[in-house]
Structure 1
Amino acid sequence: MADSTAPAKPPVAPKKDKTLGQPSASEETASLYPKMDLCQKMHRLTAAKHAGTLDSLLELQTEVFTAIAVDLVNPSLYRRLQLELYGAPTPSNAAAALKLTTDDLDQLQVKQEKELATLEAAVTDAQENAGDMEVVDARVKVARFAAQSLAENVALDAYEKLLDVPKLSSGKKIDALMEQARVASFYKDTSRADDCIARADKIANEGSGGDWDRRNRLKVYKALQRLLHRDMQAAAEALLSCIATFSCNEICSYGDFIVYTMLTNLLHLKRPELKVKIIDGPEVLSVANHKPVV
């Protein structure tokens, strides 16, 4: 018979998922939208359109338009991608991927405009009847809803309104600017993303700038921007400096980040460093089984 007086075993801590990078408090509270993996899928479709191979990706077309309609509920993005891929009027061979009609999109647009009005009313109520934190929270909800379900310009403007809130902490400003940078990157506005990241970096480097966690996450955003600008040597150095502290799964997966780090550093690292930092690097090895290319 078991001894009921025996001390209970301490709970076993869950194993850290090494494929996600490092845990981060600010990452956990980051907006889920826009989803950058969806952005990559959209890019695959537009690239196929220009290459004349779009018809071979019907399954991906259906997946992307379904995600925009069901997950994002974003009629503006739906129309934008539909026009970009198929032109106007939409050809009959696109019907298999498109589940929403013009009337459906118009109804969704009205619905989302009503939701935006409701959220803006909550901001006004917070300004009149609550404190600064409640105003910030209400503005965050507007910005994140816009990033998910409204047009690009509306989302970018919503984040500017959030940044204009009085007494917004430096940490919250950095968070807002990183999220705004993601919106700009999602819509391929590289110069706007550059501006957002530069503004966030300035705040982080001021006397009362962001905490260690946010500084590390901002480094990842800066490294990826260098990659977008094809500044490969600077990108290689920046990416490599981030892999041990990566905590930005909202902008790309850790596995993809490792791949970017490997490819850029293959061009610039000397062989002994390549062996130590890449081939035998613990961060690289931690995702090797999950990324065949690694």
Structure 2
Amino acid sequence: MSEETVLPIPNLALAQHFFTLKQPKFDHLQEHARHSLLAGIEADKMAPYYRLVASAGVLPLDEALAARMEEENEEELNKIENRLNDAEETEGESEISDALRAKANYLTRIGEKDKAVDAQKLALEKTPGLGARIDITLTLVRIGFFFGDNQLVTENLAKAEALIEKGGDWDRRNRLKVYRGLHLLSIRQFKPAGELFIDALSTFTATELVPYNDFVALTIIAGALTLSRVDLKKKIIASPEVNQALPELPVLADLIKNLYESHFDKFFVALATLEQTHLLPSRFLAPHTRYYVREMRILAYTQLLESYRSLTLESLSGAFGVTVDFVDNELSRFIASGRLHASIDKVHGVVETNRPSLKNQQCDTVVRKGDILLNNVQRLSKVLY
């Protein structure tokens, strides 16, 4: 097997189907997910993974199918084991390494998590080439993503970064950006994730991790929340890679177009649609859906309020296509939590902006961080003395 070949194992699409089937609210997606999950399991003869998903109740267990796949798994593993024994007896380190990697990759393909992780780690120890070692480490990251093992992901991302610093090639450096970005997105670090995704847009090759259009969608989702209006235009809206994929991502096209052009009523509709089509159904984004939607609303309110000294509640509700009561309640909550710099004159039905000056903001930041530093110093002094 060439070192340059990146096997799409484990098949991360199956983990997404598994997630969909575990969510009762996605009943309209479940027929397709059920068919695709079973087809993928049968294609890769994933007997261990089949028993896992069947035990979760998302697929019925067909004992005949499970037994047939287990027999095929055993036959293939015996062949690989014989090949490994021959390599150890009569051949050199390179052949032994190839056999160890073949065994590890087969266990990874069929979804035998614990054995696959152990086999990949053994292959990593016995493999001399730097490029191959990076590939093995990234495979361990994918196993972590597949089974939702965050510790496995973080440990091996750190190892991959260390290996790449020793001399990883251009392609592997770019693929690592996507891996790191996906992990950051999964832990709600949208800004650094978006930066990595944008860097990788024109050089994307990590199709073993995520399909290209899905990658573009994640880039837009992260960028829309974290980029300034100028950078949103420059790095997302004007990006040829994004524009190539946008016809197949109409909801995201509406989202960024209406956010940038300040058509906030259409933006709210696009955001609500995005919640149902891209955020809640995604196993990576679902835990952060409420946060994302809230932050995008704050972004839109801020963008509009920054253009005026005051606005009536009625004009605000008209701009966002919602009722006056909705705007009143939502703005009150965001103002009270310090997320919007404005005040509401309920008597006259007016929202007045009170943007703090840059110097005041900087002063507040220094005071706040200074207090935290002093508190930490005092705690440290108690420990030391």
Matches of 1:250 and 1:104, distance apart in 2:
27
Matches of 1:127 and 1:147, distance apart in 2:
22
Please list, as runs of the form range in 1=range in 2, the aligned pairs for 1:1-294 lying within 5 A after superposition: 29-48=5-24, 51=25, 54=27, 57-68=30-41, 70-85=42-57, 98=60, 101-165=62-126, 168-206=128-166, 209-293=167-251, 294=253
Matches of 2:17 and 2:72, distance apart in 1:
26
Matches of 1:82 and 1:265, distance apart in 2:
38
- Cα–Cα, structure 1 residues 163 and 83, in superposed 2: closer, same or farther, change >3 Å? same
Matches of 1:241 and 1:278, distance apart in 2:
11
Bigger radius of gyration among the two? 2
Tell whether the 8 Å contact from 2:10 to 2:109 is kept in structure 1 after alignment: yes
What SS is found at the alignment partner of 1:267?
A: helix
Task: Using the TM superposition, give the Cα deviation of residue 54 of structure 1 relative to its aligned residue in structure 2, in angstroms.
Answer: 4.8
Matches of 1:218 and 1:66, distance apart in 2:
29
Matches of 1:261 and 1:279, distance apart in 2:
11
Matches of 2:50 and 2:156, distance apart in 1:
25
AA matched with 2:141: A
Matches of 2:69 and 2:112, distance apart in 1:
13
Task: Using the TM superposition, give the Cα deviation of residue 32 of structure 1 relative to its aligned residue in structure 2, in angstroms.
Answer: 2.5
Task: Using the TM superposition, give the Cα deviation of residue 211 of structure 1 relative to its aligned residue in structure 2, in angstroms.
Answer: 1.1
Matches of 2:139 and 2:46, distance apart in 1:
18
Tell whether the 8 Å contact from 1:143 to 1:158 is kept in structure 2 after alignment: yes
Task: Using the TM superposition, give the Cα deviation of residue 59 of structure 1 relative to its aligned residue in structure 2, in angstroms.
Answer: 4.1
Matches of 1:106 and 1:229, distance apart in 2:
38
RMSD, aligned CA: 2.1
Q: Deviations over 1:151-190 (max 9, x none)?
A: 1111111111110115x11111000111121112111112
Q: Deviations over 1:235-278 (max 9, x none)?
A: 12121111121110110011111111111111111111111111
- Cα–Cα, structure 1 residues 215 and 131, in superposed 2: closer, same or farther, change >3 Å? same
TM-score calculated relative to the size of structure 2: 0.61
The number of aligned residues is 251
Structure 1's consecutive aligned runs of 4 or more residues displaced over 3 angstroms after TM superposition are: 53-56
Task: Using the TM superposition, give the Cα deviation of residue 289 of structure 1 relative to its aligned residue in structure 2, in angstroms.
Answer: 2.4
Q: Deviations over 1:13-66 (max 9, x none)?
A: xxxxxxxxxxxx97x610122111222122111223xx4x55972343133123
Tell whether the 8 Å contact from 2:17 to 2:36 is kept in structure 1 after alignment: no
What SS is found at the alignment partner of 1:247?
A: coil
**Which residue does the alignment assign to 1:9?**
none
AA matched with 1:82: A
- Cα–Cα, structure 1 residues 150 and 119, in superposed 2: closer, same or farther, change >3 Å? farther
Matches of 1:103 and 1:288, distance apart in 2:
44
AA matched with 2:6: A
- Cα–Cα, structure 1 residues 274 and 132, in superposed 2: closer, same or farther, change >3 Å? same
Task: Using the TM superposition, give the Cα deviation of residue 114 of structure 1 relative to its aligned residue in structure 2, in angstroms.
Answer: 3.4
- Cα–Cα, structure 1 residues 64 and 285, in superposed 2: closer, same or farther, change >3 Å? same
Tell whether the 8 Å contact from 2:178 to 2:197 is kept in structure 1 after alignment: yes
Normalized per residue, the structure richer in helix is 2
Q: Between the two proteins, what is the percent identity of the paired residues?
A: 29
Task: Note the residue ranges of structure 2 that are not aligned, 5 or more in a row.
Answer: 254-385
Task: Using the TM superposition, give the Cα deviation of residue 290 of structure 1 relative to its aligned residue in structure 2, in angstroms.
Answer: 3.0
Matches of 2:33 and 2:169, distance apart in 1:
40
TM-score calculated relative to the size of structure 1: 0.79
Tell whether the 8 Å contact from 1:127 to 1:135 is kept in structure 2 after alignment: yes
- Cα–Cα, structure 1 residues 248 and 267, in superposed 2: closer, same or farther, change >3 Å? same
